[in-house]
A and B are shown apart, each in its own frame.
Chain A
């Protein structure tokens, strides 16, 4: 071959259909999807309430019981994301933070939405309440938190609804 090698490339996508199980955590996602409930777990030995739920207590290594938690809580820490990986780039800017639900002793990472998404609106100590998508799939993205004073506005939108 005297010709100089030329490389022709085509950009394509490989799709893979697959399922994965939520295993012992399934109850959380089923209750979220079907009943708009947020379940945590309570250790049968030390009584610590875990959110997100752990089927076994991470401190005592004994089983924990499911408990329904309130849908209100306090922001522990938050940020507003303006740049991220390709999987989430369509959603920017989005608020995300660790929220301690009332009655829970650990904090849940969840999206925080606001009609006026600025750092001061979602900073530590602000009270938030859960809002659910009307169409739910049993995923973490089925719900999010909004500042308590915006709750009524959010659930008046056609695609969302309140829980409790």
Chain B
């Protein structure tokens, strides 16, 4: 408030700083690569009846949409919205007592913080809170940060802004640092006109925040619920192929996006898979 509020730094300009720092270090995400995320998430939302921003658009539509703060355009940004979401949580005993069919088990949860002041961070191009939360959550679930891409079926990410989803691929261990941009571009192109529910690891099959709308406070619950529906095979038209029986949901927030949480979930079959 004292030093940064008077500079007019809002959510988009705050996130774009991190994305620009990443670009300076690795040469990506490019505007085209970020646009792939927007097209993918808006496109996947076409299959999600609860999504608020379903759109069939192209990379060019994103790039020529109104500039918000360089290089984010309007279609790189999520729809700031209002909605509600709910999860029903119960412990193992209660689940057995009630005879719940097809429960989804939470096998790993972790949250982490990094410095709220972006200016204090030595690496402005990455959120260490994402890295710490992911490592800890995977470890609790008995998974490996370096192999996570092959150990889960899907990820519901906090894609408030397209470029930030790209950086999350790296921070959550899907690809090495600096390879997020090329990874999504490649995966996007292979799936042509969409929907983007296949590939090495489907990300935001629901449409994410960009496609569903970002009801701040409720989105973490929505993402977690979406991942649970996927693992139960109840996701409807945007159902991805479930093989390993595991998924993650990811959410971030706070000043400078300093706070991150990662949840690992498993269906009944996934409990016994390596």
Binding site for B on A (CB under 8 A): 22, 25, 51-52, 58, 76-85, 87-88, 91, 94, 96-98, 106-111, 119, 123-124, 139-141
Contact B7 A96 (CB under 8 A): yes
Chain B residues within an 8 Å CB radius of A98: 17, 118-119, 124
At the interface, yes or no: B24 with Cβ under 8 Å from chain A?
yes
Q: Which residue of chain A has its CB nearest to the CB of B1?
A: A20
Nearest-neighbour CB distance to chain B for A26, whole angstroms, equals 10
CA of A83 to CA of B70 in the docked complex: distance in angstroms? 10
Chain B residues within an 8 Å CB radius of A85: 8, 10
CB contacts under 8 Å to A, within B1-19, are: 2-4, 6-10, 12-13, 16-17
Chain B residues within an 8 Å CB radius of A78: 17, 20
CA of A96 to CA of B242 in the docked complex: distance in angstroms? 45
Contact A96 B21 (CB under 8 A): no
CB contacts under 8 Å to A, within B84-142, are: 115, 117-120, 124
Question: Which of A81, A96, A119, A124 neighbours the largest number of chain B CB atoms within 10 Å of its CB?
Answer: A81
Binding site for A on B (CB under 8 A): 2-4, 6-10, 12-13, 16-17, 20-21, 24, 66-71, 74, 115, 117-120, 124
A-B contact pairs, 14 of them (CB 8 A): A25-B2, A51-B119, A52-B3, A52-B119, A58-B120, A80-B69, A98-B17, A98-B118, A106-B117, A106-B120, A109-B3, A110-B7, A124-B21, A140-B7
Chain A residues within an 8 Å CB radius of B6: 139-141
CA of A76 to CA of B123 in the docked complex: distance in angstroms? 10
Question: Which of A96, A108, A123 neighbours the largest number of chain B CB atoms within 10 Å of its CB?
Answer: A96
CA of A108 to CA of B68 in the docked complex: distance in angstroms? 22
Q: List 17 additional contacts besides A81-B69, A94-B8; criterion CB under 8 Å.
A: A22-B2, A76-B124, A77-B20, A77-B24, A79-B17, A83-B68, A83-B74, A84-B8, A84-B12, A88-B10, A106-B117, A108-B119, A109-B3, A110-B7, A123-B24, A139-B6, A140-B6
Chain B residues within an 8 Å CB radius of A80: 69-70
Q: Which residue of chain B has its CB nearest to the CB of A78?
A: B20
Answer whether A109 and B66 are a contact pair too, CB < 8 Å, given A79-B17, A79-B20, A87-B8. Answer: no
Chain A residues within an 8 Å CB radius of B69: 79-84
CA of A92 to CA of B104 in the docked complex: distance in angstroms? 48
Nearest-neighbour CB distance to chain B for A131, whole angstroms, equals 15
Contact B120 A109 (CB under 8 A): no
Q: Which residue of chain B has its CB nearest to the CB of A85?
A: B10
Contact A84 B13 (CB under 8 A): yes
Contact B67 A77 (CB under 8 A): no
Chain A residues within an 8 Å CB radius of B74: 83
Chain B residues within an 8 Å CB radius of A76: 21, 119, 124
Contact A109 B70 (CB under 8 A): no
Contact B119 A107 (CB under 8 A): yes
Contact A81 B2 (CB under 8 A): no
Contact A119 B17 (CB under 8 A): no
CA of A123 to CA of B20 in the docked complex: distance in angstroms? 9
Contact A79 B70 (CB under 8 A): yes
Contact B3 A119 (CB under 8 A): no
Chain A residues within an 8 Å CB radius of B16: 79
Contact A77 B124 (CB under 8 A): yes
Answer whether A77 and B21 are a contact pair too, CB < 8 Å, given A107-B119, A119-B70, A141-B6. Answer: yes
7 nearest A-B residue pairs (beta carbon): A88-B8, A107-B119, A140-B6, A52-B3, A81-B69, A80-B70, A82-B67
Contact B3 A91 (CB under 8 A): no
